Structure 1
Amino acid sequence: MVQKPGVRHYFAEGVTSRGYISLLPDMMSEWKRTYVLMGGPGTGKSTMIKMIGLELLDRGYEVDFMRSAQDPDSMAGFSIRRSNLAMLDLYEVAPLKWRAPGIVEQFVDFMPLCDLRKLDQHRLQILELEDIEKRLQKEIGIRLAEEFGEKIRPKAPTFEGKQERPWLLNIYSSSDLNEGREEPWSKAQGALRKLQKSKVTPFFLHGLDCEGWLNLAPHYLSDFDQIRLDGKETSEAMDWILSEAEQLGQIIDMVLHPLYPDKVIGIVFPQRNLAIWQGGPEELKDQGLDRPFSSALKNALVQFQNARERLKSIYMNEIDFSRVDQLRDEMLNQILRDLEGLK
């Protein structure tokens, strides 16, 4: 994968051993305008996100592409860093109350572009496949927890209704992170409290795939000067760096471990072109991610992807892609007008 200047790829959500984690609530607090694409899989939403994002990139905008945690090869959205404008595929993000005060939202429904009469003939099959997806999502989480020694249990999102927006309280989690702690994720929470003078953006650079882990870190960090930390004291060193970064007052990208999201594995200072990483970004073994998946976990992942592909094929057969292309041109022109207004 070749990464163009001005573009970043990362995951705003993750399927972890502690449940489904979403970092979107925190990111959205900075956005001013959001386009929300609605509709079933295979209706062209991810392709539209990619094509509009690339067009904006060619026009000189800095674009962050958010990969889908459920399907790492698909785009779940993008954001324009300096203009605080974003686009999301509602089908690909966590089912949570993600709307934030002050955001101007435009919902774009792809379903009218489908032959709804023919689609209704597949209604029972669609419902069955959606139920299979939900069951397999739960199974994948349980398998990850079992294989990596974690214990999870259902828990409702904790961020709704909060007046303040400290980062940890705005993460959506489908499970408890750790039982018996007075304050969950205490190390990460303590570190982030020390960074109030800086703008911290947390995300993942690893996505769960049928074959293992999709690692975006080498591409993300390819243009950065790198300091690689090794040894038993690496975690302590990272904590110390975070505490010292309190006075920097600049943008800090914080990369979280894809299985244990309370663990910071990378700190990136874009304004200084510097990245500090635990081990080597290209080495999965340095993050403990080289362990092969069990046949049960692989089977659940393959079944989940098969269900998604079957759902996509149903919608793709009934969508009018010429109308999707027309809609894409209209949306691009509107976004360009919005970006001019947000300057």
Structure 2
Amino acid sequence: MTYINERHLFLGGNTYKGFHSFFNNIINKEEANRVLCIKGGPGTGKSYLMKKVATHFLDKGYSIEYNHCSSDDKSLDGIVIPELKLAMIDATAPHMVDPIYPGAVDEIINMGIALDNDALSLNKKNLMKVYKEISNNFQRAYKFLAAAKPIHDDWSKLNAEALDYGKFSTITESLKEQVFSKHKAGFGDERHVFATAFTPSGIITFAEDLAKDYKQKFVLKGGPGFGKSKILIEIGKLAKKKGYFVEYLHDPFNPERIEHILIPEISTALVTENEISQCSFAGKTFDISDFSNPSIISKNKSEIEYDKEKFYELIDKALFLISEAHRIHDDLEAYYIKSIDFSVLDKIYTDVIQKFEKYI
């Protein structure tokens, strides 16, 4: 994997199935030197600590991967320092990451030791009420995302009716020829994360930045139902079979689908222009509507427009509820911030730097 200074992505996402986690994919544990699993309540400085550590090593010339939080895109769920094979991850709910190789690789950092628990217990009822309000907003958001799924399925079906599968199959074959001029020995590896997420700030995507330095870009253009994810999965499997590492960037609405794939060893990105992230890419473009029957597209146009309108209406409602959950979460953090001993947090930061600098 090649990193250039900074890259940004999401390890978790708010999907139609609820919260979907790829947190165990933050780093390959078999190769990692150290992974710090950070425990602690809201407002205990987990994200602040990671940002501070990231800045320290970025200033020393190391690359940093920033794993953003889908429930607050300004906060971090994790960082990776790839050259040193080091990572930090927020291991509290809803992520609930536990050490796989305790001591040998993983280590728990407890931010809760900086809290005055007696002071927090005085606000027990208020805290419980706020926690429940946050949970209720997320559960409602997931219901609206789930309600959007059958509408999205109908939209996909209407598009798929128009697809000429005989012509469509030539896209995959053409990509195979253009992407792979050689192969390595052995079998490649893979990683699964999100480039795009439903957040309190709306639909946020890092896809354009993630793909910008790739020399070879192939762009699949078209709405749902045009088989873009199937093409990416097939190319990804072939890349792995040829010995290459593949990074799968999953669809933020339906994590079973793939939004983009990156093959860094051959500087190749296969990306989609789709109905969720609505990115625009420069590269060799395959517009899948060109492989469709225009008379069927025309016949289904009014139904497709109806589905689109209802789909985005439900998505907007879910985004509003995620934003409400974040607004209430700020109130929750205020209780914890008042109860923190910041000198303890400073010591934790110093300890983390010392642990990590051993690997320079």
Q: What interval of TM-score do these two structures reach, taking the shorter chain for normalisation? A: 0.7 to 0.9
Unaligned runs of 5+ in 1: 152-195
Which of 183, 198, 209 lines up with 1:208 in the alignment?
A: 198
Contact 1:218 1:282 in 2 (8 A): no
CA distance in 2 between counterparts of 1:219 and 1:8 reads: 8
CA distance in 2 between counterparts of 1:260 and 1:280 reads: 13
1:174 is matched with which residue?
none
User: Is 2:221 the counterpart of 1:230?
Assistant: yes
1:332 is matched with which residue?
353
What amino acid does structure 1 have at the position aligned with 2:59? D
SS of equivalent to 1:149? helix
User: Is 2:264 the counterpart of 1:270?
Assistant: yes
Which has the higher mean CA deviation after the structures are superposed, 260-269 or 142-151?
142-151
Unaligned runs of 5+ in 2: 153-185, 281-307
User: Is 2:235 the counterpart of 1:261?
Assistant: no
SS of equivalent to 1:41? coil
1:21 is matched with which residue?
20
CA distance in 2 between counterparts of 1:314 and 1:292 reads: 35
CA distance in 2 between counterparts of 1:131 and 1:53 reads: 33
SS of equivalent to 2:66? strand
What amino acid does structure 2 have at the position aligned with 1:36? C
The structure whose residues are more often helix, as a share, is 2
CA distance in 1 between counterparts of 2:119 and 2:66 reads: 33
Q: Deviations over 1:202-231 (max 9, x none)?
A: 110112123420111122222223221235
SS of equivalent to 2:350? helix
1:248 is matched with which residue?
242
Contact 2:13 2:70 in 1 (8 A): yes
CA deviation after TM superposition for structure 1 residue 299, in Å? 4.1
User: Is 2:340 the counterpart of 1:319?
Assistant: yes
Within a 5 Å distance, the mapping from 1:1-343 to structure 2 comes to: 5-27=4-26, 30=29, 31-91=32-92, 93-95=94-96, 98-101=98-101, 104-149=105-150, 197-225=187-215, 226-231=217-222, 232=226, 234-279=228-273, 284=278, 291-293=312-314, 296-337=317-358, 339-340=359-360
CA distance in 1 between counterparts of 2:274 and 2:151 reads: 25
CA distance in 2 between counterparts of 1:111 and 1:233 reads: 47
Q: RMSD across aligned C-alpha pairs, in angstroms?
A: 3.2
CA deviation after TM superposition for structure 1 residue 293, in Å? 4.7
What amino acid does structure 1 have at the position aligned with 2:123? H
SS of equivalent to 2:203? strand
CA deviation after TM superposition for structure 1 residue 324, in Å? 1.7
CA distance in 2 between counterparts of 1:26 and 1:295 reads: 29
Q: Deviations over 1:232-287 (max 9, x none)?
A: 4544532442243134313221111111112112111222222111227996278x
Q: Deviations over 1:18-62 (max 9, x none)?
A: 222111234465245221222221121101111102212232333
CA deviation after TM superposition for structure 1 residue 306, in Å? 1.9
CA distance in 1 between counterparts of 2:67 and 2:342 reads: 23
CA deviation after TM superposition for structure 1 residue 291, in Å? 2.9
Change (3 A) 1:249 1:58: farther
CA distance in 1 between counterparts of 2:320 and 2:227 reads: 37
CA deviation after TM superposition for structure 1 residue 292, in Å? 4.8
CA distance in 2 between counterparts of 1:7 and 1:281 reads: 27
CA deviation after TM superposition for structure 1 residue 308, in Å? 0.7
Contact 1:76 1:92 in 2 (8 A): no
CA deviation after TM superposition for structure 1 residue 133, in Å? 2.1
CA distance in 1 between counterparts of 2:10 and 2:245 reads: 18
SS of equivalent to 1:61? coil
Q: TM-score, normalised by structure 2?
A: 0.71
Which has the higher mean CA deviation after the structures are superposed, 113-122 or 42-51?
113-122
CA deviation after TM superposition for structure 1 residue 137, in Å? 2.2
Q: What is the percentage of aligned positions where both structures have the same residue?
A: 19
SS of equivalent to 2:72? coil
